[in-house]
Structures are given as C-alpha cells and as structure tokens.
Copies of this chain bind each other. A is one copy, B any other.
C-alpha cells in the first residue's frame, strides 16, 4: 500500500507538503503542487481512510439497525439509506438486532470504538433508554419505524391515520363488519394502528366488536389459525384489515383455504405496501408507507446532523418528519 511518505519521497518533498496538497491547503507553491499530484497519480496513491479517521474522529460510516432485514419492509428502507449515504460518501453497516436490546447495545458499544458517525435505528419496541442516552451524549441518531416523541430525530408515518384511511375506504365501500388483525400490543406502532381502527369505527357510527379484533399469538403465521377459528365460531367479517401486509397475506391464505373468495366474500386490506403486495393474488389493497423515502430521508437527516455536530460541536434541535401515506387500491377489496 502506497503511503503519504512514499509519495513524498517520490516527489522529493516532505510528507507534510503532500498532505497539504491533498487537503487543498492554500499555501503550496504551484510547481510543488504539480509535482506532488504527478507523484500521486503515478504511484496511484489512495489515502488511508482509517488513519484519517483515527486523526479526525470521524469514520464516514453510519450504522443501520433493523430488527431483521428479512422483514419485508426493511429491504426498501435499507436501499434508501444506502443510496443516500453512498452519494454523500458514507458507507453503511447493517445490523440485525431481532429487537434484542442487549444485542443492540453490544452493537452500539462496538461501533462506537470505531468512531461510527451516527445511527439509524429502526427497532419498534420500547426499552430504548440506551438510544436516548446515545442522543444525550451528543450522538447523531435518527429513528424510523418508531417515533418516541419529539426529543430525537425521527422519520415515520402517521400510523393511526394510515389505518383510519384504510377503514374509511372500506366503510365507504359498504363494509360493516370489519375485522382487524392486530400485531403485538407492546409495539407502539401497532397500538397506533389499532387506535385508527377504533377511531374510524366511532366516527362512522359502526359498533366496536371485540371479537373482530384478532390478536397475534405466535407470530405472523398464527393468523392462519386465528382466522379459521373465527370462521368456525360462525363469525364471518365482510372485510379484514391487517395491521401489516405480511399479516394480510396470511389472512388471505386462511380465507382462501376456508373456501371464501377475496374480495367476493371478504375484502382484505393491509398496511405497508411491501414489494410482494402487488405480487400476491389478488393483489393487495393497502396503505403505502413511502419506504424508500423513509430510508433516504433518515439518512440525509442523519448526515445533516453529523455535519452540524462537526461544525458546532453539538446536535441541532431534533425534528420529527411524518411522511405522507398513500391509499393503494388493488383487487383484494371491493
């Protein structure tokens, strides 16, 4: 590996001069500059980023922490993050946490020893004191998927409104007995989506029937049996709103296997608009999160914070961005 010293020797100057040339310091003689640049070119010199980082305390690296990249909403978010980061000269370290706080902490501790510049955290669960602490210590952090409050930078959607919109659509379409496939209650995101369900029922005067709220038991797959149980008990909704697209897929399968047609007998709707939503049969009506934009905005916010911190020494006031969701009507609803 060619080092600054090699270039210096080749050009017949001192390493400091080479450094000055490369960092565009003004006080360098034009001839010297040319000589150095020539040497740089000939030796194909590339400065060692690690050495730079050690000196500067910055690594041009950010970490993206997701529960699991296998969760269908994250590939697109990740792509948004990576594209944006790359354009700004940053590389992205991918961390799967499985929502495990200890794992998350281990990751953070480890990455800090490498002068990571900031974190994008996409965990959904509470128990986030370590994230708050990170922010308080002056570390750039942007949350996505979960917004704590307005004390930390975040990008997300209005989950309650998303469900509300979906419900409005279903209700206007004449559905009166709308079931809700609810995710884990300890996840605020799902509680918000649930609230939207309740609010929509209220605002349209439809009765709230507890039996129509189906609570996830052992993971997304459990909805298969939960839906079939519901039907067996003689309860047949005219629509099912799932609190996420993957849940909607399972719901569709269960309904289909029970001999019901979608949307003929039952309409099904999801929230998220993951890639596969347009691929299933029938294509799923859903409320689209702008996943790519969420990732891209999270990254650009983070990078802006990093720059701000570098200049002023501290973080800019936190700002929460709520992005617009989009009602996508496909063929799973009538």
Measuring CB to CB, which residues of chain A are less than 8 angstroms from any residue of chain B? 46-51, 53-54, 59, 61, 64, 68-70, 72, 74-76, 78-79, 82-83, 91-96, 109-115, 246, 249-250, 252-253, 256, 275-276, 279-283
Alpha-carbon gap, A283 to B75, bound state (A): 22
In the complex, the count of this chain's copies comes to 2
**Contact between A91 and B111 (Cβ–Cβ < 8 Å)?**
yes
Residues of B within 8 A of A53 (CB): 50, 114
Closest to A83 in B: B96
**Contact between A275 and B113 (Cβ–Cβ < 8 Å)?**
no
Can you list 7 contacts pairing A with B, beta carbon distance less than 8 Å?
Answer: A48-B113, A50-B53, A50-B54, A50-B114, A68-B79, A253-B279, A276-B276
CB distance from A88 to the nearest CB of B (A): 13
CB distance from A83 to the nearest CB of B (A): 7
**Given A93-B92, A280-B281, A281-B280, CB of A114 within 8 Å of CB of B49:** yes
**Contact between B75 and A70 (Cβ–Cβ < 8 Å)?**
yes
Alpha-carbon gap, A115 to B54, bound state (A): 13
Closest to A106 in B: B86
**Contact between A96 and B79 (Cβ–Cβ < 8 Å)?**
yes
CB distance from A293 to the nearest CB of B (A): 14
Residues of B within 8 A of A47 (CB): 113
- Kindly identify which residue among B46, B69, B113 contacts A75, using a CB–CB cutoff of 8 Å: B69
Alpha-carbon gap, A68 to B80, bound state (A): 11
Q: What would 18 more interface pairs be, CB under 8 Å, given A48-B115, A82-B96, A91-B93?
A: A46-B109, A46-B113, A47-B113, A48-B54, A49-B113, A50-B114, A69-B75, A69-B82, A74-B75, A75-B75, A91-B111, A92-B93, A92-B94, A250-B279, A252-B281, A253-B281, A276-B276, A281-B281
CB distance from A284 to the nearest CB of B (A): 10
Residues of B within 8 A of A252 (CB): 281
**Given A50-B50, A50-B113, A113-B50, CB of A70 within 8 Å of CB of B79:** yes
Closest to A279 in B: B249
The 10 A-B pairs of least Cβ separation, nearest first, read A281-B281, A276-B276, A249-B279, A94-B94, A49-B113, A49-B114, A69-B75, A70-B75, A50-B54, A46-B113
CB distance from A2 to the nearest CB of B (A): 11
Alpha-carbon gap, A253 to B279, bound state (A): 7
Alpha-carbon gap, A75 to B74, bound state (A): 9
CB distance from A253 to the nearest CB of B (A): 7
Alpha-carbon gap, A69 to B112, bound state (A): 26
Residues of B within 8 A of A46 (CB): 109, 112-113
Alpha-carbon gap, A281 to B253, bound state (A): 7
**Contact between A69 and B59 (Cβ–Cβ < 8 Å)?**
no
Alpha-carbon gap, A61 to B53, bound state (A): 15
Alpha-carbon gap, A135 to B59, bound state (A): 26
Alpha-carbon gap, A160 to B74, bound state (A): 32
Closest to A246 in B: B279
**Given A91-B110, A92-B93, A94-B92, CB of A50 within 8 Å of CB of B279:** no
Residues of B within 8 A of A54 (CB): 48, 50-51, 54
